[in-house]
A and B are shown apart, each in its own frame.
Chain A
Amino acid sequence: MEKTTLRGRIWVLLDRSGKLIEDIDTDQIYHNAFLHITEVSEMGKYALGNLEGWKDFPAKAAPGDILVAGRNFGAGSSRQQAVDCFISLKVGAILAPSFASIYFRNAVNSGLPVLKSPRIERLAEGGELESGDELEVDFLSGQALNVSKNMSFAVEPMSTVQKEIFRAGNLFAFGRSSNRKA
Chain B
Amino acid sequence: MGKTVVEKIIQAHTRDEARAGRIVWMDLDIRSARDFGGPNVVKHYEREYGDELLADRTKTFFTFDLCAPACTLRYADNQQACRDFALKHGIKVYDVDQGIGTHVLMEEGLAQPNSTVAGTDSHMNILGAMGSFGQGMGDVDMTFAFRTGRTWFEVPETTRVIIKGALKKPASAKDLTLFLLKELGTKRLALKAAEFYGQAAAGLSLAGRLTLCSLITEMAGIVGFVPEYNDAARKEIERFTGAPFSPFVADEDAPYAETIEINVQGLSPQVAAPPSPANVKPVADLRGVRINSGFIGSCTNGRTEDLAGAARILKGRKVKAGVMLKVVPATRRVYQELLARGILRDLFESGAIIVNPGCGGCAEGHVGLTGKGEVQISTGNRNFAGKQGKGETYLASPAVVAASCVLGQIASPEDL
9 A-B pairs closest in CB distance: A106-B138, A80-B138, A36-B74, A78-B136, A109-B140, A32-B363, A78-B122, A80-B139, A27-B387
> B207-225 vs A: 1/0 string, CB under 8 Å?
0000000000110101000
State whether the Cβ of A175 lies closer than 8 Å to any Cβ in chain B. Answer: yes
Choose, from B163-171, B283-291, B310-318, B378-386, the stretch at the interface.
B378-386
When the two chains form their complex, are residues A102 and B137 in contact, meaning their CB atoms are under 8 A apart?
yes
User: Quick check: is A182 within 8 A (CB to CB) of the other chain?
Assistant: yes
B351-365 to A contact mask, C-beta < 8 Å, 1/0: 000000000000111
Interface string of A3-27 (1 = CB under 8 A from B): 0000000000000000000110101
Q: Which residues of B contact A109 (CB under 8 A)?
A: 138, 140-141, 144
What are the residues of chain A within 8 A of B66 when measuring CB–CB? Answer: 35
Q: Would you call B363 and A78 a contact (CB within 8 A)? A: no
Is B234 interfacial (CB 8 A cutoff)? no
7 contacts between A and B (CB under 8 A): A37-B74, A78-B37, A83-B138, A98-B190, A98-B191, A171-B144, A172-B44
Interface membership of B120, Cβ < 8 A: yes
Q: CB within 8 A of A76: which of B72, B124, B382?
A: B382
Q: Is the CB of A75 within 8 A of B147?
A: no
> Binary interface profile of A, 33-53, with partner B (CB < 8 Å = 1, else 0)?
101111000000000001010
Does B40 sit within 8 A of A, measured CB to CB?
A: yes
Q: Does A160 contact B (CB under 8 A)?
A: yes
Given the complex, which residues of A lie within 8 Å of B154, measured CB to CB? 159
Chain A nearest CB, measured from B249 CB (Å): 24
User: Contact partner of B120 among A25, A78, A101, CB < 8 A?
Assistant: A78
Asked if A76 contacts B385 (CB within 8 A), the reply is no
Cβ of B235 within 8 Å of any chain A Cβ, yes or no, is: no
From B150, B220, B385, give the contact of A50 (CB < 8 A).
B385
Contact (Cβ within 8 A) B220 A105: no
B121 at the interface (CB under 8 A from A): yes
Inter-subunit contact A23/B186 (CB<8 Å): yes
A77 in contact (CB, < 8 A)? yes
Q: Which of B354-412 contact A (CB under 8 A)?
A: 363-365, 382, 384-387
Category for how many chain B residues contact A: 35 or more
In the complex, which residue of chain B has the Cβ closest to the Cβ of A111?
Answer: B140
Q: List residues of chain A with CB within 8 A of the CB of B44.
A: 172
Report Cα–Cα, A52/B25, bound state, in Å: 39
Residues of B contacting A167 in the complex (Cβ-Cβ under 8 angstroms): none
- List the B side residues contacting A159 at CB < 8 Å: 23, 154
Given contacts A23-B276, A38-B40, A79-B37, is CB(A28)–CB(B386) below 8 Å?
yes
A76 close to B40 (CB less than 8 A): no
Cross-chain contact A72 with B190 (CB below 8 angstroms):
yes
Instruction: Point out the residues of chain A lying under 8 angstroms from B144, CB to CB.
Output: 109, 171-172, 175, 182
Q: Which of A68-107 contact B (CB under 8 A)?
A: 71-72, 75-81, 83, 98, 100-102, 105-106
Question: Is the CB–CB distance between A161 and B152 below 8 Å?
Answer: yes
Query: Taking beta carbons and an 8 Å cutoff, which residues of B are in contact with A?
Result: 23, 25, 36-37, 39-40, 43-44, 48, 66-67, 72, 74-75, 78, 120-122, 124, 135-141, 143-144, 147-148, 150-152, 154, 156, 186-187, 190-191, 217-218, 220, 222, 276, 363-365, 382, 384-387
Question: In the complex the two chains form, is A36's CB within 8 Å of B191's CB?
Answer: no
Residues of A at under 8 Å CB distance from B? 22-23, 25, 27-28, 31-33, 35-38, 50, 52, 71-72, 75-81, 83, 98, 100-102, 105-106, 109-110, 159-161, 170-172, 175, 181-182
Chain A contacts for B36, CB-based, 8 A? 35-36, 79
Given contacts A77-B122, A77-B136, A80-B37, 18 further A-B contacts (CB under 8 A): A27-B386, A27-B387, A28-B386, A35-B36, A35-B66, A36-B36, A36-B75, A38-B40, A38-B43, A72-B220, A75-B218, A76-B384, A102-B122, A105-B137, A109-B144, A110-B138, A160-B23, A172-B48
A36 to B143, CA, bound (A): 17
The answer to whether A76 touches B217 (Cβ under 8 A) is yes
> Which B residues are CB-close (under 8 A) to A182?
144, 147-148
Residues on B with beta carbons closer than 8 Å to the beta carbon of A33? 364
Nearest CB of A to B211, in Å: 18
Whether B386 and A31, one on each chain, are in contact in the complex, defined by CB atoms closer than 8 angstroms, is: yes
Q: How far is the CB of B405 from chain A (nearest CB, A)?
A: 24
Residues of the B chain whose Cβ atoms lie less than 8 Å from the Cβ of A71: 187, 190
List residues of chain B with CB within 8 A of the CB of A172. 44, 48, 140, 143-144
Bound together, the chains give a CA A102 to CA B147 distance in angstroms of: 20
Assess the B78–A36 pair: CB atoms within 8 A: yes
Q: Report yes or no: A171 in contact with B141, Cβ–Cβ below 8 A.
A: yes
Query: B72 contacts A80, CB within 8 Å?
Result: no
How many angstroms between the C-alpha atoms of A98 and B188 in the bound complex? 13
Name the distance in Å between B188's Cβ and chain A's nearest Cβ.
12
Q: Which residues of A contact B23 (CB under 8 A)?
A: 159-161
